[in-house]
């Protein structure tokens, strides 16, 4: 059951993609980014105060690590993605989001000397190709007919930051040694503190009625539920295996859009969805089991 935690996160984040679409016309990116973490902190902090007090020595000793995690995963990643959306299409952003598993595999190998397994790398590539075909409806080369824009760099940085976040969550697991909710709470508070000056400089403090429900989803489900299950999933599977689930986001988002917004998938996208799921499945197979099967054949 715990191996499904990253999948739960991806479902929530896929729903949040629809929320972001609906929020674009009623609230600014800085506002919803700040409000979502502020709301999350208001909900989470009273629940975690006693646990934080019980673990105060460990929290204090690991505060810098928790602040770094909050910076990469809850501030830099979404902020860079918002900047990217100003100059590049959502389609190109989606394809670059699919680079997360590849980033995580390669960065894990380069920084932490994590072992690379052929089947895992092959699965990541298959899944990534499936993402490109799915989003582009069978014409992935069209993405690159445009000249490179600053948004390409912003999105590359966004994916890079979340890859670092995922790797650090796993790498620092033994040092932090805090209950997941306590760890998440401190990271959220760090994000609020970092975003507060930018929110104050934004100058618009009025929340439109249409934005309240969107903030609620982003602040409760996307900001609390998804990161919680994501960190639990990384603890069980490791950063590289958990990251591959991100490639399911285009498929899940399309399914949600079909039922909620009435959008339809073309035939090539069904094939691409199968490729994505197959690639994800390959990366989840135990390497020892794969080796035994290959030797038997």
pLDDT per residue as tens digits for the range 82-125: 777 677 656 566 667 767 777 777 788 888 777 767 777 787 78
Residue 197's pLDDT is what?
93
Query: CA–CA separation, 180 vs 187, rounded Å?
Result: 11
- For range 267-284, the mean pLDDT: 75
Could you tell me the pTM of the whole model? 0.78
Q: Kindly list the domain boundaries of the chain, sorted by start residue.
A: 2-296
Are residues 215 and 36 in contact, defined by beta-carbon separation less than 8 angstroms?
yes
DSSP line for 221-266:
IIIIIHHHHHHHHHHHH-HHHHHGGGGGHHHHHHHHHHHHT-----
pLDDT tens column, 182-238: 999 999 999 999 999 989 987 677 888 888 998 999 899 988 888 888 888 888 888
83 three-state secondary structure: helix
Contacts (Cβ under 8 Å, ≥6 apart) of 153: none
Query: CA–CA separation, 160 vs 176, rounded Å?
Result: 22
**Could you tell me which of 83, 13, 38 has the C-alpha nearest to residue 190?**
38
Residue 145's pLDDT is what?
54
Mean of the per-residue pLDDT values of the chain: 80
Query: CA–CA separation, 17 vs 37, rounded Å?
Result: 17
More confident residue, 129 or 35: 35
- pLDDT bin (cut points 50, 70, 90) of residue 296 is low
pLDDT tens column, 43-61: 999 999 999 999 999 999 9
**Could you tell me which of 275, 269, 270 has the C-alpha nearest to residue 134?**
269
Query: CA–CA separation, 54 vs 49, rounded Å?
Result: 9
More confident residue, 230 or 262: 230
pLDDT at 292 over 60: no
pLDDT at 287 over 60: no
Query: CA–CA separation, 134 vs 269, rounded Å?
Result: 5
281 three-state secondary structure: helix
Q: What is the DSSP letter of 116?
A: P
């Amino acid at each position: 059951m715990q191996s499904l935690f990253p999948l739960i996160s991806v479902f929530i984040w896929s729903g949040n993609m629809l929320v972001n679409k609906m929020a674009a016309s009623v609230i600014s990116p800085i506002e919803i980014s700040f409000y979502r973490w502020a709301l999350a902190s208001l909900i989470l902090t009273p629940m975690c105060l006693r646990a934080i007090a019980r673990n105060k020595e460990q929290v204090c000793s690991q505060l810098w690590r928790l602040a770094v995690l909050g910076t990469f995963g809850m501030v830099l990643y979404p902020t860079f993605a918002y900047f990217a959306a100003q100059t590049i299409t959502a389609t190109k952003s989606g394809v670059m989001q699919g680079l997360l598993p590849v980033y995580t595999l390669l960065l894990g190998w380069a920084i932490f000397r994590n072992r690379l397994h052929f089947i895992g790398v092959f699965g990541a590539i298959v899944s990534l190709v499936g993402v490109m075909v799915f989003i582009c409806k069978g014409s992935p080369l069209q993405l690159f007919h445009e000249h490179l824009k600053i948004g390409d760099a912003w999105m590359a940085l966004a994916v890079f930051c979340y890859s670092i976040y995922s790797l650090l969550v796993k790498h620092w697991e033994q040092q932090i040694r805090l209950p997941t909710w306590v760890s998440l709470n401190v990271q959220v508070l760090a994000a609020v503190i970092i975003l507060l000056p930018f929110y104050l400089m934004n100058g618009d403090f009025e929340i439109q009625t249409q934005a309240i429900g969107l903030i609620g989803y982003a602040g409760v489900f996307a900001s609390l539920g998804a990161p919680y299950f994501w960190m639990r999933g990384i603890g069980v599977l490791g950063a590289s295996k958990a990251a591959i689930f991100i490639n399911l986001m285009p498929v899940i988002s399309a399914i949600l859009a079909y039922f909620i917004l009435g959008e339809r998938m073309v035939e090539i996208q069904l094939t691409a969805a199968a490729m994505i799921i197959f690639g994800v499945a390959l990366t989840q197979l135990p390497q020892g089991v794969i080796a035994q099967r290959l030797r038997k054949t």
